[in-house]
Copies of this chain bind each other. A is one copy, B any other.
């Protein structure tokens, strides 16, 4: 798939991850919120690959509001992600929360995620500027576009130009969704920066029933890719139960998104 819209190709930054040229090819990243077990992760990886996902996501380190909440499997989670990659060939995206873990996480991941809570953790951003992996930078929960691009420029300034932006919903007064997915920031970010922009409708809405329409909307707004939470049994997930979708629903989503990307690229 080629990304729809986006203006003249040479002006835009393309970030290669595995065989995928993000910013030129449309990419779909999928997988569970958290790595919970080898079985759950490898099964999900197989299913999302079959459905057409390009990369596997899964959290080994989980930033949670309370220290009593499930914090992720840590190093064991990284081992499981490597096993899933070996099994499926899917490149892996996972979050790094500590600058001291960059090297270790880089051994298990092809793309390093900075979570919303750490968007302005400048210690982490500066070290990622010297990392050998590309970075997926999620927008902070109440970050302006200017602050988001400012955070990205901390990584770029360190010499790592492989940065991908990810919109994941912002805080507003509205309570019918977990966050308010700000799709207008997609074309606004692309007007202000050459970096690819992908969209996470799972955190952006917090509602399984809104993932499909908002994925299509993200594509139409000009996003370069999607980040979707998929779990074989969402009702028993250790986190984000309301927003993870089943592999079957994900499969339908990939088809609809693929058709839409093709439509927008060929008209």
Contact = CB atoms under 8 A, between A and B. Distances in A.
Interface stretch (A39-47, A81-89, A174-182): A174-182
Nearest to A222: B213
A205 interface: yes
Contacts of A235: none
B177 A184 contact: yes
A94 to B, nearest CB: 15
Interface residues of A, number: 67
Interface stretch (A19-27, A28-36, A59-67): A59-67
A147 interface: yes
Contact of A122 (B97, B122, B123): B97
A174 B170 contact: yes
A263 B267 CA distance: 11
A108 interface: no
Interface in A209-245: 209-210, 213-214, 216-222
Given A145-B176, A184-B205, 10 more contacts: A117-B122, A118-B120, A170-B180, A171-B171, A177-B184, A180-B184, A183-B183, A217-B218, A259-B263, A260-B264
Interface of A: 5, 63-68, 97-100, 117-118, 120-124, 141-142, 144-147, 150, 153-154, 157, 170-177, 180-188, 191-192, 204-205, 207, 209-210, 213-214, 216-222, 256, 259-260, 263-264, 267
